[in-house]
């Protein structure tokens, strides 16, 4: 028991969990203070911590409207939490270490390996350098495009501020926005449903933030290496398939719905369907009223949110690689194949078991929280399932349930966002005892399956 409190003995997962928790508590404390709110009053601690959790876990679910409730200081705290949470606090710490020319220790490399979901420490510091460079470069491009577009709608200074703020929020797959300060709360990007510049810029940032830094590095270095890793092939192919299928399904389901796509022009229908397919990649903004979507569409978005983004990215969910592995395992079983093969490469047995473990733990978490919230909240079941999955996938899409949550509901959704950002398996490793190698194996037994 004494070893549990010795930081030097802590495992990388435990350090990651503790680090994120401390950042959330610090951010929550700052957001409670009067200078952080627009009216100069104290914000209830639960709402401040909920917002800090949502920002650090790059989710976007909020109990108070970001644009109308928080002052500029509060908004800056939130976007700082988004940046730290999206890249990871160890990545930010490594940035300072690199700037100060400080040596990265073996322990720190192990933590970075866990944070980036890598299988080895080889080249981990080099990867972190690329993560920082790619992130800042992409955010700068996105901020510039946003600022140029919004300079036609607001003063130049405000357009630049909005551009930088939303560039960081979108790339880190956080669903936060500031447009509620113009009168209508929780409005997100619904005012730009037909705008190609806003749609394309936001989708570009969300997709790049969601595919992961390993894939970005692979694609950028493709000319030199002349090949892509199996990981990158799986991520790119599954991401493309999910985006295409998502857009087609949403387009078909909502084509005649006059409250969503039905009232839009053909261009608007296409933009809206595409954006609503991209947003569940754990991003959070929306360009149509989600409450007005048909229930079939809402449930389909729940499935997309549960799958989420890709490993080593700013997003959550069970991840595209996990989903691909499960699909490949099912196909192999149906075909009577012993090996699970992707792009002519066989997957190791432990990869499949890990994918199955992550999916089962994630599904159990979502269902358990949904069941509890169904008793504490006076809301329809699908709305609660939608909100819970959005929290787990660190998406931020909402059907309006979050602002009306009870105290228990706010605590449960906060914990779900935290678990979704770090991953249920990482949390299990963090709180569980240190694994010990087994010295023996039990005899094999057989049970009937199916």
CA 282 distance to own-chain centroid: 4
**Any domain includes 178:** yes
**Any domain includes 47:** no
Query: In the predicted model, what is the mean pLDDT of residues 25-48?
Result: 95
Q: What is the DSSP string of 221-250?
A: THHHH----HHHHHHHHHHHHHHHHHHHHH
Query: In the predicted model, what is the mean pLDDT of residues 46-51?
Result: 96
For residue range 292-343, what is the model confidence (pLDDT) as tens digits? 999 999 999 999 999 998 887 777 889 999 999 999 999 998 998 888 989 9
Phi (first) and psi of residue 89, to 5 degrees: -65, -30
Q: Which of 243, 306, 299 is nearest to 276 (CA)?
A: 243
**Planar angle of CA 377, 315, 216, nearest 5 degrees:** 170
Neighbours of 241 (CB within 10 A): 12
Residue 275 has pLDDT above 60, yes or no: yes
Neighbours of 40 (CB within 10 A): 10
**Planar angle of CA 363, 368, 373, nearest 5 degrees:** 130
CA distance 59 to 417: 7
Residue 394 near residue 57, CB atoms below 8 Å: yes
**Any domain includes 444:** no
Q: Which two tokens stand for residue 113?
A: 């390996």
Number of domains in the chain: 1
Residue 318 near residue 359, CB atoms below 8 Å: yes
**Any domain includes 447:** no
**Which structural domain, as residue segments, surrounds residue 379?**
118-431
Query: In the predicted model, what is the mean pLDDT of residues 4-25?
Result: 72
**Any domain includes 82:** no
Stronger pLDDT, 92 or 170, i.e. the higher one: 170
Residue 14: per-residue pLDDT: 74
Residue 101 has pLDDT above 70, yes or no: no
**Any domain includes 266:** yes
Residue 253: per-residue pLDDT: 96
DSSP at 183: S
For residue range 362-409, what is the model confidence (pLDDT) as tens digits? 999 999 999 999 999 999 999 999 999 999 999 999 999 999 999 999
Residue 2: per-residue pLDDT: 44
Per-residue burial over 265-283, b if 16 or more Cβ lie within 10 Å, else e, is eeebbebbbbbbbbbbbbb
Residue 53: per-residue pLDDT: 95
């Amino acid at each position: 028991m004494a070893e549990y409190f010795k930081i030097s003995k802590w495992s990388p997962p435990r350090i990651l969990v503790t680090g994120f928790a401390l950042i959330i508590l610090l951010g929550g404390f700052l957001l409670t203070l009067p200078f952080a709110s627009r009216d100069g009053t104290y914000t209830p601690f639960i709402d401040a911590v909920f917002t800090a959790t949502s920002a650090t876990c790059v989710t976007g679910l909020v109990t108070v409207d970001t644009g109308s409730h928080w002052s500029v200081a509060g908004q800056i705290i939130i976007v700082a939490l988004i940046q730290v949470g999206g890249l990871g606090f160890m990545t930010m710490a490594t940035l300072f270490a690199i700037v100060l020319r400080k040596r990265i220790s073996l322990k720190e490399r192990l933590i970075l390996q866990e944070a980036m979901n890598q299988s080895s420490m080889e080249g981990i510091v080099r990867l972190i350098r690329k993560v920082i460079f790619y992130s800042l470069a992409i955010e700068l491009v996105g901020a510039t495009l946003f600022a140029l577009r919004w300079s036609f709608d607001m003063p130049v200074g405000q357009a630049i501020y909005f551009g930088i703020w939303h560039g960081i929020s979108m790339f880190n797959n956080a669903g936060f926005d500031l447009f509620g300060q113009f009168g209508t709360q929780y409005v997100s990007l619904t005012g730009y449903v037909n705008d190609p510049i806003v749609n394309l810029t936001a989708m570009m940032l969300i997709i790049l933030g969601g595919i992961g830094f390993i894939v970005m590095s692979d694609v950028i270095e493709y000319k030199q290496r002349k090949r892509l890793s199996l990981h990158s092939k799986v991520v790119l192919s599954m991401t493309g398939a999910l985006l295409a299928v998502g857009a087609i399904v949403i387009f078909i389901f909502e084509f005649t719905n006059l409250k969503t796509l039905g009232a839009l022009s053909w261009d608007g229908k296409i933009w809206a369907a595409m954006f609503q397919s991209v947003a569940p990649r754990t991003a959070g903004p929306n360009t149509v009223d989600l409450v007005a979507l048909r229930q079939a569409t809402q449930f389909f978005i729940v499935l997309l949110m549960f799958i989420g983004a890709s490993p080593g990215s700013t997003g959550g969910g069970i991840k595209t690689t996990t989903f691909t592995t499960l699909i490949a395992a099912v196909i192999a079983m149906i075909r009577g194949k012993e090996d699970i093969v992707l792009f002519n490469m066989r997957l190791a047995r432990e990869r499949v078991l890990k994918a199955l473990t992550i999916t089962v733990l994630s599904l159990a978490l979502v269902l358990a929280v949904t069941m509890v919230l169904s008793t504490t909240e006076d809301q329809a079941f699908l709305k609660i399932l939608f909100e819970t999955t959005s929290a787990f996938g660190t998406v931020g899409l909402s059907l309006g349930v979050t602002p009306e949550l009870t105290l228990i509901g706010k605590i449960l959704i906060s914990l779900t966002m935290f678990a979704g950002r770090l991953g249920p398996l990482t949390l299990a490793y963090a709180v569980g005892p240190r694994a010990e190698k087994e010295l023996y194996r039990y005899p094999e037994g057989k049970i009937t399956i199916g």
